[in-house]
Structure 1
């Protein structure tokens, strides 16, 4: 299937590692001109080099989304890379740790909201006028299954991701009849290197096996059961994001699509 992404210019925030890197690579394989973003220059350029080695069109933008000035500079550099931005994937953001409600103080809540919600707001504000002049565009925000079905742990993270659902619906109405669609992808637990490391450390601390297959089975049995029988892989998310970025997804707008293996029980 031709996704008609050839020549579409896509900025993927937080794409120097993990799921963001998979998204950037998958978009490039479909012919998109990809702008890889990160804060660490070496890691970000390494992903760009991988894309380039496969024949992809790629540019690098380094910057911090935690300030308005940083977001505006990222937007400016991204527009300059290929003459514009058609697709914005808001993947960058803080990740939750395994804290309980009692472990998280007011400052942690504020930091999480800033690092999950305001990083999106700043960049959308910096790019929205430009994207409207193109009369076509995609904004895809990466949320979490926890936004709908939170754990007892990481309450600040789950609440911030829930706010992303709300702002995405609002944005889809803000861009009414402009040709720009705004959607959400809400994954379950994604098996990235960072997540594997954290789960392995938690298993060791609790005296459980540190073999990954046993860790994954423990999580499925005790924390996140689903009828698919495994946790999410980065490519599961990347494939959906790539489709939503394409002209073939023109009539999908203001929608939250879960990539959770069926773990959320609600219809």
Structure 2
């Protein structure tokens, strides 16, 4: 059974791996033997995470990435292939929620910015690795969605819409690329102790309402995503594709 989850020798790209839940994902993948490419605009933060995994015997590298810039995305893929020879897994973790506003007050420019990162950026990254994965007839893509894609909360509408679209992208790519033996799935965390929850005052009535309708009765911890990401990145999930795995204490599905 241990071999099913072994990531030794596999090269995994984690976008947005220098902050938020990305840090936990990087640690989990490195703990199971992967060469983890930590990609983000903030190289300093990425280097700090790299030092953390290397201190435990993990392996990886840092590549600067602007996920909204197509050229930057393709440069990432080219550099990783030149240095490591393959890309086994792409984790589209980079995402933003820069503001909270009811939909009638959402600025179109702000909405476009969120779409550029949360949806178009994920598609650009998937397209960039697809040529290599299709040629190899092997690969895994994991999108980081959110339970907000199905659970409404006032002020998070723009963010929620982009994540709902990301769910649809996940299923579309899974359907189209299944013939190339490429698995495409997503994890959809609920409100965790980092990430989008950083933008929300935990004392807000609206936030408390989310906790109240969560069967487990609390927010999640970023470390509670580790098992799911290793599962989806490893051979243990080879016959799983097109799935959205909600890790939200039951808030969106109970």
TM-score, length-scaled by structure 1 = 0.88
**1:185-264 counterparts in 2 under 5 A?**
185-192=187-194, 195-196=197-198, 198-199=199-200, 202=201, 215=203, 221-225=208-212, 226-264=214-252
Question: Radius of gyration: which is bigger?
Answer: 1
Residue number in structure 1 paired with 2:113: 111
Residue number in structure 2 paired with 1:207: none
**Higher mean displacement: 185-194 or 12-21:** 185-194
Distance 1:250 1:195 in 2: 32
**1:131-210 counterparts in 2 under 5 A?**
131-192=133-194, 195-196=197-198, 198-199=199-200, 202=201
Distance 1:82 1:258 in 2: 32
Distance 2:227 2:77 in 1: 25
Q: Summarize deviations over 1:192-221 as a string: whole Å, max 9, x none.
A: 17734x44xx36xxxxxxxxxxx49x7774
SS, match of residue 236 in structure 2: helix
Residue number in structure 1 paired with 2:35: 33
Distance 1:248 1:162 in 2: 26
Q: 1:124 to 1:265 in 2, by over 3 A?
A: closer
SS, match of residue 61 in structure 1: strand
Residue number in structure 2 paired with 1:44: 46
Q: Summarize deviations over 1:18-63 as a string: whole Å, max 9, x none.
A: 1111101100000111111111121111101111111011111112
Q: Summarize deviations over 1:176-206 as a string: whole Å, max 9, x none.
A: 232210001111111117734x44xx36xxx
Q: 1:173 to 1:227 in 2, by over 3 A?
A: same
Q: Does 1:17 align with 2:19?
A: yes
Distance 2:54 2:87 in 1: 19
C-alpha displacement at 1:222, in angstroms? 2.4
Distance 1:193 1:149 in 2: 17
Q: Which runs of 5+ in 2 are unaligned?
A: none
Whether the 8 Å contact between 1:220 and 1:229 is mirrored in structure 2 is no
Q: CA RMSD in A?
A: 1.9
TM-score, length-scaled by structure 2 = 0.92
Residue number in structure 2 paired with 1:4: 6
C-alpha displacement at 1:95, in angstroms? 2.0
SS, match of residue 60 in structure 1: strand
Distance 1:255 1:25 in 2: 23
Between the two proteins, the alignment pairs up a number of residues equal to 251
Distance 2:161 2:241 in 1: 23
Whether the 8 Å contact between 1:168 and 1:254 is mirrored in structure 2 is yes
